[in-house]
A and B are shown apart, each in its own frame.
Chain A
Amino acid sequence: MSSQFLLSLIVGIFVGGAAGYLGTLMLSKRMALVAGPLGHLTLPGIALALIYSFDISLGAFPFVILGIVFIWLFEIRTKLPMEALTAVVFASGVAVAFLFLPIGQAEAALVGDISKVNFWESAVSVALTVFVFLIITKIYPKMVLIIISEDLAKSQGVNVKKYNLVYLLLIAVIVALGVKIVGALLTAALAAIPACSARNLSRNMFQYAFGAITIGIISSALGIFTFELTGFPAGPLIILANAVIFLISIIFKR
Chain B
Amino acid sequence: MQSDLILKVTDLDVELEGEKIINNLSFEVKRGDILTILGPNGAGKTVLLKTLLGLLPHGGEIKWKKNIKISYVPQRLPFIKDAPLSVKDFLKLKKSFDKEIKETLNSIGFKESLLEKKVGDLSSGQFQRILVAWSLIGNPQVLLFDEPTTGIDIEGEETVYRLLARLKRERELTILLVTHDLSVVYTFSNYVICLNKQPICYGFPQEVLTPENLQKLYGEEVKYYRHKH
Contacts and interface: CB of A to CB of B under 8 A. Distances in A.
Interface string A201-238: 01111111000000000000000000000000000000
B85 A155 contact: no
Interface of B: 50, 53, 55, 70-74, 77, 79-80, 82-86, 88-90, 92-95, 116, 118
Contacts of A145: 93
Interface of A: 24, 27-30, 141, 144-145, 147-149, 151-152, 154-156, 199, 202-208
A154 B82 CA distance: 19
Contacts of B79: 28, 30, 147-149
B129 to A, nearest CB: 17
Given A148-B79, A151-B74, A152-B77, A202 B50 contact: no
What 8 A-B pairs have minimum CB-CB distances, sorted nearest first?
A: A204-B86, A28-B83, A155-B72, A205-B89, A202-B84, A208-B84, A28-B82, A145-B93
B86 A205 contact: yes
B55 to A, nearest CB: 5
A204 B55 contact: no
Contacts of A30: 79, 82
A149 B74 contact: yes
Contact of A205 (B55, B72, B84): B84
A207 B83 CA distance: 11
Nearest to A152: B74
Nearest to B120: A203
A152 B55 CA distance: 10
B52 to A, nearest CB: 10
B76 to A, nearest CB: 8
A206 B90 CA distance: 12
A251 to B, nearest CB: 18
B72 A151 contact: yes
A203 B84 contact: yes
Given A28-B83, A208-B84, A154 B92 contact: no
A24 B89 CA distance: 15
A208 B86 contact: no
A28 B74 CA distance: 19
Nearest to A151: B74
Given A149-B77, A151-B50, A204 B89 contact: yes
29 contacts: A27-B82, A28-B79, A28-B83, A30-B79, A141-B93, A144-B85, A144-B93, A147-B83, A148-B79, A148-B93, A149-B79, A149-B80, A151-B50, A152-B73, A152-B74, A154-B55, A155-B55, A155-B70, A155-B71, A155-B72, A156-B94, A199-B84, A203-B86, A203-B118, A204-B118, A205-B89, A206-B89, A207-B84, A208-B83
Contacts of A151: 50, 53, 55, 72, 74
Contacts of A147: 79, 82-83
A152 B94 CA distance: 10
B80 A148 contact: yes
Given A30-B82, A144-B85, A152-B77, 11 more contacts: A28-B79, A30-B79, A141-B92, A141-B93, A148-B83, A149-B79, A151-B53, A155-B72, A204-B88, A205-B85, A205-B86
